[in-house]
Every structure is written in C-alpha cells, then in structure tokens.
Amino acid sequence: AVARELMRMATFVKDVSSELEELEELGGADDVGLDEDDLRFCDDDFDASELAIGKSIGTFAKACLVLLKALIVPMVKEKTTDLKALEPCVEACGRFRQSVEDLGAGVYPPQDTDELKESLTQTVKSAREMYACVREAGAGDDETKDALDVFVAASEIA
C-alpha cells in the first residue's frame, strides 16, 4: 500500500513536469491556434520575465521527478525496508507533491514570485524529510544521497 501511494504521488509530479515541458517550446515556435486547446501555453500568455521563470520552474520540476524516482525505487525494491518508518515518508511525499503542484500552477500568469519561492522552499524541505525517512527505513544509498544533492543544487538555480 505504501509503494502504491508513493507511485500515485509520483504520477502527479510527472504530470506537472510534463506540462511545464511545453514552456521549453515557447519563444520561437508557432503559437497554438485559437481553436486549439486553451489549456496549452502560448507565447503571448507570458511576458519575457514570466517565461524565464516558468522555464526555470519547468527544469526544476524535472529534477523533482528524478529525485522522487531515486527515493521511491530503493524503498520499493528493498525487502528489508521498515514499513513503519515509511509512513512519515508518505506524508512528506504528499507535501512534496502538493508543493510541486503549487509550483506548476504558480507558473501561469500572473505569477506571484513570493508564492513560487514559498512553494520551492516547501518542496526542498519535503524532499529532505523524504530522504531522512528513506535512510531511517533502511533503504537508499550513495546514489540516493547524490540525487538529493543534485536536486538541492537545481532548487538553488530555480
């Protein structure tokens, strides 16, 4: 049940990352026509600053997904993982998912940079909590720690 819940939350993070990937195509590609899906990003939806912030958050969302995979896979594969220690990890993962979703929603104009910063801070805090839970549960390794370090570095750039 724990693994299933963690995988479900990873799906939400993947959805945000995939959606924000569309921002990479803006700034030179043709705009989406008016008869197309109005939930897609268009060049004229963003000013230059908002687009730069959105692309930065999009890159960070990819790092969130990579980190989540690095944290979840050892927990799911490790047969000696302490399941009771994973319960707080599921809670931290829920906070992580919510803050990533907040980042994704916050990218849409008008952007509130203070809210984006708060969501970014909460994402990093939740990631550190998940990492601590993974280690306490007896899962994870140096690669997991490396993934956290790369993630934290990505958060500083975003």
Which among 121, 59, 79, 76 is positioned nearest to 96, based on CA atoms?
121
Of residues 137 and 112, more confidently modeled: 112
List, for residues 61-89, the tens digit of each pLDDT value.
Answer: 999 999 999 988 887 777 666 777 788 98
Instruction: Give the pLDDT score at 18.
Output: 93
Rounded mean pLDDT, 92-100: 96
Maximum distance among all alpha carbons in the chain? 54
Reported as a pLDDT band with limits 50, 70 and 90, residue 35 is very low
Reply yes or no on whether the pLDDT at 100 is more than 50: yes
Q: Which position has the token pair 């993947």?
A: 14
* Gap between the Cα atoms of 155 and 89, Å rounded: 20
Q: Which residue has the higher pLDDT, 111 or 41?
A: 111
Pairwise CA distance, residues 88 & 86, whole Å? 5
Check residue 29 and give its pLDDT: 41
What's the confidence (pLDDT) of residue 80? 65
- Tokens for 116, please give them: 């984006």
Percentage of the chain with pLDDT > 90? 54
Mean pLDDT highest for which of 43-47, 84-88, 123-127? 123-127
Select from 79, 77, 64 the least CA-distant residue to 14.
64
Non-local (6+) Cβ contacts of 104 within 8 A are 16, 19, 20, 57, 61
